[in-house]
Amino acid sequence: MTEPTVLVTSDGALRTLTLNRPDSLNALTAAMHDELLPALQAAAEDCATRVVLITGAGRGFCAGQDLSDPAMLGADPDHDAGGVGDFVTRYYLPLAQRVRTMPVPVIAVVNGVAAGAGSNLALCCDFVLAARSASFIQAFSRIGLVPDCGGTWLLPRLVGRARALGLALTGDKLPAEEAERMGLIWRCVDDAALQGSARALAAELALLPIRALVETRQLIDAAMPMDFGAALAQEAASQQLLGRSADFAEGVAAFFAKRAPVFKDL
């Protein structure tokens, strides 16, 4: 029996997806995409899941597109993607969209090198927590491609145009510590502390009102190209909605009762 290329485990409200092709640093094949997107979809549809974590098996997080995958070259009869451009439309576009619009927070737990689309898959997540030994590489320019999986949108928003261009044009390796310093990722921790820190963050998020967290992500993303007035207006609209929610009532009640709130995403 062939091993799954994406391992899925659940622990209460936390669901972990582990990219599982360690021999190639979890480089993404068509077969792996065929497991990854449905795994994300299943997590999105599972009412018990309140936080999703994505990590890699072995010493890498994800080396991006598997450059030896026959499907990428349109030479795999099981996958009718017709070459590089089609592959992006067929796999990376829905993957990036799915991660960015998950109904729960998503944490990238970057255990090792994240290159090409692997780097941008991590950056699509709401939090990127990386091991100190991990690194981020916009490997595309080195093989004559442009950043995909959302890289051209994400990079300038995270670190500004100068650094976005520097990272994308050189394809240089960026150590996790420097990635944290420049605001590309949320936090870098010692290797031995990575999984524990990720679980602690996930457990903390799982206790919060998920609907409000997801609405916040959406507002921040939508506000980027807006003028100040438009951003104020969309905040008001969301607050009107959330202000009528049971979670808001619970949050206020718990505050005055000096107890921990219990949110139900209603």
Question: Does 56 help bind ligand T3D (rule: CB under 6 A)?
Answer: no
Tell which one of 32, 52, 72, 213 touches ligand T3D (CB under 6 A): 72
Closest to ligand T3D by CB, 149 or 210: 149
Q: What angle do CA 121, 185, 181 make, to 5 degrees?
A: 150
What are 75's two structure tokens? Answer: 């030479």
Burial class (CB in 10 A: 0-12, 13-18, 19+), 51: buried
Instruction: Compute CA distances 57 → 17, 45, 102, 197, 223, whole Å.
Output: 10, 25, 23, 17, 36
Cβ 13 vs Cβ 48: under 8 Å: yes
| Nearest distance, CB of residue 9 and ligand T3D, angstroms | 24
Tell which one of 84, 192, 224, 266 touches ligand T3D (CB under 6 A): 84
Closest to ligand T3D by CB, 113 or 167: 113
Kindly state the number of chain residues that form the binding site for ligand T3D, as judged by CB under 6 A: 23
CA distance 173 to 116: 11
| Nearest distance, CB of residue 36 and ligand T3D, angstroms | 14
| Nearest distance, CB of residue 118 and ligand T3D, angstroms | 6
Q: Give residues in contact with ligand T3D (CB under 6 A).
A: 24-25, 27, 63-68, 72, 84, 87-88, 113, 115-117, 137, 139-140, 143, 145, 148
